[in-house]
Structure 1
Amino acid sequence: MKGHQKVSSEKPIWDRSSSGVSMTRPARRLMIWLILFISVTYIIYTLKIISTSHPCEQDPTILQQRPQKKAISVAVEAVAAEQEPTDLKNVVFGIAASSKLWKHRKEYIKIWYKPKKMRGYVWLDKEVKIESDAAGEQNLPPVKISGDTASFPYTNKKGHRSAIRISRIVSETLMSLDSDSRKNVRWFVMGDDDTVFVTENLIRVLRKYDHEQMYYIGSLSESHLQNIFFSYGMAYGGGGFAISYPLAVALSKIQDRCIKRYPALYGSDDRMQACMAELGVPLTKEQGFHQYDVHGNLFGLLAAHPVTPFVSMHHLDVVEPIFPNMTRVRAIKKLTTPMKLDSAALLQQSICYDKSKSWTISVSWGYAVQVFRGSFSPREMEMPSRTFLNWYKKADYTAYAFNTRPVSRNACQKPFVFYMSNAKFDQELNTTVSEYTRHQVRHPACGWEMANPEEINTIVVYKKPDPHLWDRSPRRNCCTVLQTMRNNTLWINVGVCKAGEVTEVK
């Protein structure tokens, strides 16, 4: 019965009082652990959901964000590419050529053009036979035929209307490129088929200028009269000239109208300059582009090259081979040996003295060394000697647009010339070693009581490569005579002038 039930002596589970209900200690601990477990489990589960969740593919705002990120990435890459220094990939060459002369002049192009590194076209007046299997033919640029210019007026009686065709090569080269090919073009460089470029030095020159601005870069003729007849503000096309991409675009829009306004002009380069004048863009002169409007022997010009990168040489069919007893093509190929070792220094002149023997020595690195009896000042030595005739085949020194000097004042001062015979890089010495062999020609008798340079057969020049030569202010390298007369050999060191070093006669 309920009234007779035994009351347990154990503590009740619930202890009721006026203050409310309280839990015993074991029950409290169990509940706390249970709550903590549930909380931790919930947190872990929530974090897992967040970390593995993906945005809804149907969310239009998210779909719009994805291509924007890709576009930003492409834009960053484009900006990075634009900030890179100019290289050969940013240059397109346009080479003016004639079908009549193509067979032998293409050999000049093979020397300098490298299709895997360069872009360009040869522009001919009509189709020629392409011998793809012949030696070196794969090293030529693609051949294109110039557009018809019969509708353009030409009234110059001394010239040839092919000048109109050639003057349009810049615009035609631009138009031949599709939109993708144009993206990284910064410069168009024009030249003739008898022009050879030192492309590394060309790039060194172009890097000085902002390709996003309008630039017309080239040089004058060596002939004072040529410059008077045509213009002192004109880039002579055979020596090559460069036009920035924005200027090429502007030119292409007006060139045909411009050409029709000048039917009486003689050539292509003066037509080009006339259009530049209409655009208001002057010539930016760079002395390293060489028209070589001279006849005869280029030795005097090459042995005293101005302090600037040697970029190009033209009229190779007009002048004599630059090395004696060679064909013109073989002579130019020989110059490529030092060109590969240190293109920046090619043909750069250094002047020094062997005071114990009273000799003046001029080094045109990679080409020739001259040894003179007596003392010549640097001011005299940096003037080209007149080994050539002017463009009108006259020995008239007033016809040049620069200072020259006589070949020799006295029979005893006729220079002993040593032409480059070999050049290599010595890895142990970390320097180039170029050898120059004396040109065997008769010298007039000399009664001066001093050492005779004729006893020297070979000159060895040591020079460390200096690819950053033109990143500094222009200055001739200095040279020092190391040893003389041992084994009939003269040793010379050429390099950057030391602090305080001066080329002094005495």
Structure 2
Amino acid sequence: MKNDPKDPEHLFYSSWTFSKLMASFFLLMSISYLCYSLRFVSLSYHCNQTQNTHISITHVSNTTTATITTSQVLEQERATSKEQASEETNISHIVFGIGASTTLWNQRKEYIKLWWKPNEMRGTVWLEQKVETVSNDENLLPTLKVSEDTSRFKYNNSKGDRSAIRISRIVSETLRLGMKNVRWFVMGDDDTVFVTENLVKVLKKYDHNQFYYIGSSSESHLQNIYFSYNMAYGGGGFAISYPLALALEKIQDRCIQRYPTLYGSDDRIQACMAELGVPLTKERGFHQFDVHGDLFGLLAAHPLTPLVSLHHLDLVEPIFPDMSRVDALEQLKVPIKLDPAGIMQQSICYDSTHEWTISVSWGYVVQIFRGIFSAREMEMPARTFINWYQRADYTAYPFNTRPFSRNLCQMPFVYYLSDALYDKGENETMSFYFRTRENPDCNWTMADPNQIRMVEVRKKPDPHLWDKSPRRNCCRVQRTNGNGTMVIDVGECREDEVVEL
């Protein structure tokens, strides 16, 4: 039952409650005034201590001056550090670790000389034991070091070699050398040739302060199945960012012990990367070349990406005919110097007058085909090679290929690079390609490219080619001189330009 507001007992209770509230209010006001008064007395006391205040102020003033000076120094250091951090990645930020064999050193070192720039690059060749050095080589090669003993590690793979453990530790051993201002560690073998300008261009895309493991898979589908599609193949080269190398070095020896049955060094690296949770970032310009035979088909239709590396050069034919392997690779150095971004990049066009299809792999080769072939077909590598297990199996590759025509009339006319130069006035390169072999006679009534003795390709260097969205350059047949020289212009595609006849 609710209380009646007119009840005397209720009225008494309400009056008593109101009096209680008023008393509490006055008590609270009295306490607040007392606290304020004490605070005033305390402040007045300190204000009267003039001498102490003066000393205190002088002390604070001196401290402030010292702090400003220190701050200026720290700020300057931070500015310097920030300036270094904002600097674009260049070759000085990369340290190479090259896995080498003492037995093959005298032969393989010639590959390293092709791309190594002693005054610009940093790196170490790691061998299983000391080798005799030639005085002339000292200024042409990286520092040579002997790897640490790895006999304490287990190795149970009956088909492999325990040197795989030694090679897998190269990144960690190189890290422990304590080099300064390192952003990337790049691994390769002694039979790997790098196009270092393109390597730098690729690594520039990535934040070196993050965990990155960059490389590519094998050209052999079965190799990728047996090992891993998530593994960077070491001969083709791979890059590890500095902080990831630090993390790897901390765990690697323990990690290696957990995988005694693995075959090689690169699968051990990938196993440790899996434990660190770092996936492979694929860049197709790193080439393992797990094939045999002639690389012509692969290089003449190089994927639309910078050419970064070539590997297994002892197992394939020289990339230019009638030359040694080293001399053939030496032939590439001129176009690489003129336009590294454009090396091996394919362009496709047509000679409408003669109904020919033309493919230009800049700095390497030009091909002329009788008839019209689609760009879709021409961008597939011709099978001039066989797979890693030495079988002619078109299903053995993780990419599309096309047969190399055996019809005498459909065989391409092949013109290999002879020379290249730069025309400063026109700001363009001129590269010259000659046929080294005659094509068989053909009874087709179609115009015969036999009349073409040389192809001249004109192209403006484009250092920013890979800063834009990927697109093949276009090529245009300009004319054919009476002396049998075809002139072709290669460059960025114009508006609405399409590869069609």
Pairwise same-fold verdict (TM > 0.5): yes
Superposed CA deviations along residues 218-265 of structure 1, whole A, max 9, x for unmatched, are 000000010010001100000000001111001001000000000000
Corresponding residue for residue 282 of structure 2? 285
Aligned: 1:143 with 2:154: no
**Matching residue of 1:36:** none
* TM-score of the aligned structures, taking structure 2 as reference length: 0.87
Aligned match of 1:28:
none
Indicate yes or no: 2:160 matched with 1:159. yes
Distance 1:430 1:249 in 2: 44
How far, CA to CA, are the matches of 1:71 and 1:111 in structure 2?
44
Q: Distance in 2 between the 1:485 and 1:454 partners?
A: 14
In structure 2, the residue matched to 1:70 is 73
2:113 alignment partner AA = K
Larger Rg: 1
Contact 1:455–1:485 (CA under 8 A) maintained in structure 2: no
Q: Distance in 1 between matches of 2:446 and 2:62?
A: 95
1:466 alignment counterpart: 462
2: distance between equivalents of 1:363 and 1:497?
Answer: 14
Matches within 5 A, 1:192-341: 192-341=189-338
Distance in 2, Cα, partners of 1:213 & 1:379: 37
* Counterpart residue identity of residue 88, structure 1: I
Task: Name the SS for the 2:118 alignment partner.
Answer: coil
Q: CA deviation at 1:74?
A: 1.5
The answer as to whether partners of 1:456 and 1:485 remain within 8 angstroms in 2 is no
Output the CA distance in 2 between the equivalents of 1:444 and 1:337: 32
Q: 1:61 Cα shift?
A: 4.5
> Are 1:84 and 2:84 an aligned pair?
no
**Which residue of structure 1 lines up, in the alignment, with residue 177 of structure 2?**
176
Whole-angstrom CA distance in 2 between matches of 1:488 and 1:469: 32
Match of 1:487 in 2: 483
- Counterpart amino acid of residue 99 in structure 1: T
- The 8 Å contact of residues 358 and 373 in structure 1, kept in 2 or not, is answered as yes
1:411 is displaced (CA, Å) by 2.1
What's the counterpart of residue 421 of structure 2? Answer: 424
Asked if residue 379 in structure 1 is aligned to residue 382 in structure 2, the reply is no
Residue 130 (1) aligns with residue 133 (2)? yes
Partner Cα separation in structure 1 for residue 476 and residue 482 of structure 2: 16
Q: Which whole-Å CA distance do the structure 1 matches of 2:363 and 2:127 have between them?
A: 34
Identity among equivalent positions (%) equals 64
Cα separation, 1, equivalents of 2:138 and 2:220? 35
Aligned to 1:21: none
Structure 1 counterpart of 2:497: 501
**Structure 2: which amino acid aligns with 1:158?**
K
Q: Which amino acid aligns with 1:66?
A: T
Shift of 1:117: 1.0
Shift of 1:59: 4.7
Superposed displacement of residue 445, structure 1: 2.8
User: Hey, what's the Cα distance between the residues in 2 that align with 1:152 and 1:172?
Assistant: 16
- CA deviations 1:337-361 (Å, max 9, x no partner) are 0000000000000000001101000
- The answer on 1:357 being equivalent to 2:349 is no
Q: What does residue range 409-420 of structure 1 map to in structure 2 within 5 Å?
A: 410-420=407-417
Alignment size in residue pairs = 443
Q: Which amino acid aligns with 2:260?
A: P
Q: Which residue of 2 aligns with 1:52?
A: none
Whole-Å separation in 2 of the counterparts to 1:165 and 1:486: 61
- By how many angstroms is 1:389 displaced? 1.1
Letter of the structure 2 residue corresponding to residue 241 of structure 1 = F
Task: Summarize deviations over 1:422-461 as a string: whole Å, max 9, x none.
Answer: 00001222110000001223x3331211211111110000
> 3-state SS of the aligned residue for 1:411?
coil
Other structure's SS at 1:138 match: coil
Secondary structure, in 3 states, of the residue corresponding to 1:128? coil
Deviations 1:341-396 (A, max 9, x none): 00000000000000110100000000000000011100000000011111111111
CA distance in 2, matches of 1:414, 1:243: 43
Question: What SS does the aligned partner of 1:104 have?
Answer: helix
RMSD: 1.4
Deviates more, 1:230-239 or 1:421-430: 421-430
**For residues 65 and 398 of structure 2, what CA distance do their matches in structure 1 show?**
69
Secondary structure at 1:461 match in 2 = strand
Which letter does structure 1 place at the counterpart of 2:110? E
> SS of the residue aligned with 2:253?
helix
| Alpha-carbon distance between aligned partners in 1 of 2:177 and 2:427, rounded to the nearest angstrom | 45
Counterpart secondary structure, 1:486: coil
Of 59-68 and 257-266, deviating more is: 59-68
Residue 448 of structure 1, aligned match among 435, 444, 469? 444
Question: CA contact under 8 A between 1:416 and 1:439: conserved in structure 2?
Answer: no
Task: State how far apart, in whole Å, the 1-side matches of 2:132 and 2:433 are.
Answer: 41
Distance 2:427 2:151 in 1: 59
Q: Distance in 2 between matches of 1:469 and 1:424?
A: 20
Give the secondary structure class of the aligned counterpart of 2:270.
helix
Q: State how far apart, in whole Å, the 1-side matches of 2:384 and 2:264 are.
A: 28
Q: Which residue of 2 aligns with 1:19?
A: none
Residue pair 1:218, 1:236 contacting (<8 A) in 2 also? yes
Q: SS of 2:161's equivalent?
A: coil
Contact between 1:221 and 1:293, CA under 8 Å: does it hold in 2? yes
| Structure 1 position 129, deviation (Å) | 0.9
Q: CA deviation at 1:166?
A: 0.2
Aligned partner of residue 139 in structure 1, secondary structure: coil
Q: 2:430 aligns with which of 433, 447, 451?
A: 433
Q: Deviations over 1:81-105 (max 9, x none)?
A: 1011111111110000011111111
Distance 1:266 1:229 in 2: 10
Q: Report the secondary structure of 1:189's partner residue.
A: strand
How does the TM-score come out when normalised to structure 1?
0.86
1:486 offset after TM fit, Å? 2.4
- Stretches of structure 1 lacking an aligned partner (at least 5 in a row): 1-54
Matched to 2:130, the amino acid is: E
Give the counterpart letter for 2:365 in structure 1. Answer: A
